[in-house]
Chains A and B, each alone.
Chain A
């Protein structure tokens, strides 16, 4: 209660201050910031005012371009020197004589890559210390190109796993677990559209083609109020807009997949498009196999990203973006499964004035899978789908130099088709009902520089979730047996949950190069993923909150210390967090979740808690750059009916996690890179005994997640050779070796009777990838 009151007081005083300061005579400089060569808008460019009497910690950016490249800075009339700076770009300084509201669009030049010139980041250096946002990680997509990766397929999600507090859900997997959360507790947004299954080929690849991506931001559970709906994190992925000056193409030919992207102006400097596509071709090798069993198999994925934008006038810009990806696995026409996501986003940016920016988005997101089994006796298909129709309105208001407000609303209509079985030869399959629900959120978030020392992001998100008819809704007893059911008509409200979610991030600057940050956030999650598999399975099912299943709620508190050292050459951050969760679900023993209309009776709910400490030491620039991260953490569950309600480690609980990422610029032609990771093994359930039953041996289990997989560690090395690098053409070879010292990392442990001595039980560790070499040829024409 006191927290809530404090927050309300802060918001009110913040608004009062902005109004007060707005009454003085001020003028605003605003505009769009783009890349000069491509016309691509740049996100997060800092705009700093250099006053004559500038104090050191006043060095902070006074404004920052938003996700559409728009910035707004309100200043006292007079002469100002503004510096625009952005990673990898040459900073630009302009002097303006500001008397009235002025539009100043700025185009930045990409810094030419040479050894002398790689310290262009300098201007951004204080960001780490001064940004009020806690638990945030920003990924430079350009830096991904050099990292060594499995199969040479660079991957945003796998790069995120190298940051503290983030790790993969299993060897080679693109699934994330953030601060002790599960993979489904991450909100993965591609141009604002929710991507429900962000992986290809059982999780070994993510759905994101890095050619199409401009920017990736990860919030580790403390995102500002405009984001919500998942407990653990937000992965906000923004697609490239396309070059609006000239046509270009880029792509790559790799061992396992090839990619091609084409971009160009629709109308020069007014609009542009980009289309990028990729496809894997492991199946083409299978077709060459002499073994007939492999010859008939299908195993591939493809995805297409497309985006177009058009500047309608000075104040309006339209964006249309889409994603379509599909995975196909199968054997001849006997068995097949295909799944994938499709998303579409239509956006309209409107500038109401120099201080008010608006974005309206209409978003459609669809995930579906279809399993088909067909032979001369049986013809069966299982289909499942989750579809969102989403409308989002967001305003960004820049009332003063020290204050920025973001507010708006979001309304989503979810339709879930559970795994429906259909078979022409079988008539009496129960019809599983579709589930309809309506998720709403009102949000307001402010970024406020209260004093030169104190900055904050405060906000409130009011989230609601309504389960809608038509449908039959059961009630269950303690044993999970259905006791009663009620049918609701179309459009009737079955159950509504309301969840107010306060958010606060505070930054107090304690010295010229150090700060303390405190954050609190509440998040609610209304859709649960039912998964009983440790690999990402396409048939995992999303289950909405209902009259029986409550939404998950997480409260996270974090505290951080940030410091830059050695003339800003090194950035250190130490962040601790604790997180308390309710509404966590797990299965009853022996649960049957396939095609079960009473699936909610198979679930148990309980609580979760997670805490940890994350240390990151980063050297952002120089010939040798990179970072080292260490996390010590714990994530536990307590569920009535499992381990007698006692706290037990969650599967993703990971005590120690170390990652080291290094890049070294050897010459203008050669760049070397290295990753090393160490993680404690997942918590797993091992048998505590064995027995014979009807002549077969079975295992006896007593404690859930009472054991640990052995620790994993591996070194990946890579080298990039720039064959040609001119203003219009670039080509390079990337070589990498995954798991360079061939460590056998545990993927799973299988208990089985020894083949040599069938009386003995062996624990067999299955490892997947050792010494995986790969090479990719990348090119760019522009």
Chain B
């Protein structure tokens, strides 16, 4: 029987090997990371795609010299200057540090980016009404000798009668989880949320922090098509809320955080 088991394990085990496919690098494309949070000012980061084979991944190629303007449907207008320090440009960051526009619920914002080359990208997004995150709970699922599987459950009341979109980020011991979680209330409109998200952790879990973002439909569409392309039959780029042919998203969002410290004195009950 033992031999049979060894055979079975042997048979099902997969193996991995690094290969060197001859990849054709596409012409670089601009990537926009733009965020406007409720009650805060807007930050924009402009970078470019790099070749897959390039190794300097920690140094994204910044896009400098672009003109970034923000306006709202309440007649507000703002220009986001590029952040410099003693005359040096930082990483293609544009921010209204002294900005006049702060995110307000219900308003629609338009972000326009014009590169020096003349290429122009425009996105519109609406600030959702904030949804209160009441608390979080951990629910231990099972453990293997190496890994611990649990779920983090955010408790909140989804407002009835409106479409709500959420993005969740989980941090374990201060480190962000590899995957984010994106949801809509398509099947749970007006419900009190008790749905958790699965988390895998190695080693001891001392703290868990959950960030909950409220999004609009366009940003939800972007996040739900971001990632997971790898391995699918037809991997594709996420659907951006920008027009003009760039990658990335203008995220107009609410944000709330709950943190949980885990005491290891008592037998773990999480």
Distance from A593 Cβ to chain B, minimum over Cβ atoms (Å)? 12
Say yes or no: B49 contacts A691, CB within 8 Å. Answer: yes
- Give the residues in chain A near B56, CB-CB below 8 Å: 759
Can you report 12 A-B residue pairs in the complex whose CB atoms are below 8 A from each other? A334-B141, A590-B225, A689-B26, A689-B49, A689-B51, A696-B227, A699-B235, A701-B236, A707-B23, A759-B56, A759-B57, A761-B52
The distance in angstroms between the C-alpha atoms of A377 and B236, with both chains bound, is 34
B17 at the binding interface (Cβ < 8 Å): yes
The distance in angstroms between the C-alpha atoms of A697 and B40, with both chains bound, is 26
- Give the residues in chain A near B191, CB-CB below 8 Å: 426-427
- Give the residues in chain B near A753, CB-CB below 8 Å: 57
Known: A377-B139, A753-B57, A767-B14. A595 touches B187 (CB 8 A): yes
Say yes or no: B11 contacts A772, CB within 8 Å. Answer: yes
- Give the residues in chain B near A255, CB-CB below 8 Å: 4, 7-8, 11
**Pick from B21, B48, B194, B238: contact of A763, CB under 8 Å:** B21
The distance in angstroms between the C-alpha atoms of A292 and B190, with both chains bound, is 38
For the complex of A and B, the 4 pairs showing the least CB-CB separation, nearest first, are A590-B225, A688-B26, A689-B49, A589-B236
Report the count of interface residues on A (CB-CB < 8 A): 83
Say yes or no: A744 contacts B17, CB within 8 Å. Answer: yes
Of B28-36, B93-101, B256-264, the segment with at least 4 beta carbons within 8 Å of chain A is B28-36
Distance from A537 Cβ to chain B, minimum over Cβ atoms (Å)? 11
Say yes or no: B187 contacts A698, CB within 8 Å. Answer: no
- Give the residues in chain A near B195, CB-CB below 8 Å: 377-378
Q: Which residues of chain B from 3 to 23 have a CB within 8 Å of any chain A CB? A: 4-5, 7-8, 10-12, 14-21, 23
Known: A590-B221, A688-B24. A752 touches B19 (CB 8 A): no
Say yes or no: A377 contacts B196, CB within 8 Å. Answer: yes
A508 at the binding interface (Cβ < 8 Å): no
Say yes or no: A292 contacts B142, CB within 8 Å. Answer: yes
The distance in angstroms between the C-alpha atoms of A288 and B141, with both chains bound, is 21
Distance from A330 Cβ to chain B, minimum over Cβ atoms (Å)? 13
Contact with A along B178-191 (1 / 0, CB 8 A): 00000000111111
- Give the residues in chain A near B15, CB-CB below 8 Å: 744, 766-767, 770
Distance from A291 Cβ to chain B, minimum over Cβ atoms (Å)? 6
Known: A296-B142, A377-B139. A698 touches B236 (CB 8 A): no
Q: Is the interface of B mostly helix, strand, loop or mixed?
A: loop
The distance in angstroms between the C-alpha atoms of A296 and B224, with both chains bound, is 31
Distance from B244 Cβ to chain A, minimum over Cβ atoms (Å)? 16
**Pick from A293, A377, A595, A690: contact of B194, CB under 8 Å:** A377
**Pick from A293, A532, A710, A744: contact of B232, CB under 8 Å:** A532
Distance from A536 Cβ to chain B, minimum over Cβ atoms (Å)? 12
Most buried by A among B8, B33, B238: B8
A139 at the binding interface (Cβ < 8 Å): no
**Pick from B23, B187, B227, B237: contact of A428, CB under 8 Å:** B187
A12 at the binding interface (Cβ < 8 Å): no
Q: Which residue of A is nearest B35, CB measured?
A: A694
The distance in angstroms between the C-alpha atoms of A759 and B58, with both chains bound, is 6
- Give the residues in chain B near A151, CB-CB below 8 Å: 11
Distance from B177 Cβ to chain A, minimum over Cβ atoms (Å)? 11
- Give the residues in chain A near B144, CB-CB below 8 Å: 291-293
The distance in angstroms between the C-alpha atoms of A282 and B11, with both chains bound, is 11
Interface residues on B, range: 35 or more
Say yes or no: B239 contacts A765, CB within 8 Å. Answer: no
Say yes or no: A534 contacts B233, CB within 8 Å. Answer: yes
**Pick from A426, A686, A704: contact of B187, CB under 8 Å:** A426
- Give the residues in chain B near A689, CB-CB below 8 Å: 25-26, 28-29, 49-52
- Give the residues in chain A near B196, CB-CB below 8 Å: 377-378
**B residues bordering A, Cβ < 8 Å?**
1, 4-5, 7-8, 10-12, 14-21, 23-26, 28-29, 31, 33, 47-58, 60, 139, 141-145, 149, 151, 153, 176, 186-191, 194-196, 221, 224-227, 229-239, 247-249
The distance in angstroms between the C-alpha atoms of A765 and B21, with both chains bound, is 10
The distance in angstroms between the C-alpha atoms of A78 and B52, with both chains bound, is 81
The distance in angstroms between the C-alpha atoms of A697 and B31, with both chains bound, is 12
- Give the residues in chain B near A770, CB-CB below 8 Å: 15
Say yes or no: A687 contacts B23, CB within 8 Å. Answer: yes
Contact with B along A596-608 (1 / 0, CB 8 A): 0000000000000
- Give the residues in chain B near A566, CB-CB below 8 Å: none
Known: A282-B8, A744-B17. A693 touches B153 (CB 8 A): no
Say yes or no: B231 contacts A426, CB within 8 Å. Answer: no
A113 at the binding interface (Cβ < 8 Å): no
The distance in angstroms between the C-alpha atoms of A378 and B5, with both chains bound, is 35
- Give the residues in chain B near A532, CB-CB below 8 Å: 232-234
Contact with B along A410-431 (1 / 0, CB 8 A): 0000000000010101111110
The distance in angstroms between the C-alpha atoms of A774 and B6, with both chains bound, is 12
Q: Which residues of chain A from 226 to 283 have a CB within 8 Å of any chain B CB? A: 255-256, 282
The distance in angstroms between the C-alpha atoms of A773 and B225, with both chains bound, is 41
Most buried by B among A689, A710, A751, A761: A689
Contact with B along A68-98 (1 / 0, CB 8 A): 0000000000000000000000000000000
Distance from A774 Cβ to chain B, minimum over Cβ atoms (Å)? 7
The distance in angstroms between the C-alpha atoms of A428 and B189, with both chains bound, is 7
**Pick from A595, A685, A690, A747: contact of B49, CB under 8 Å:** A690
Say yes or no: A749 contacts B234, CB within 8 Å. Answer: no
The distance in angstroms between the C-alpha atoms of A81 and B196, with both chains bound, is 79
Say yes or no: B235 contacts A701, CB within 8 Å. Answer: yes
The distance in angstroms between the C-alpha atoms of A175 and B169, with both chains bound, is 38
**Pick from B47, B55, B232: contact of A692, CB under 8 Å:** B47
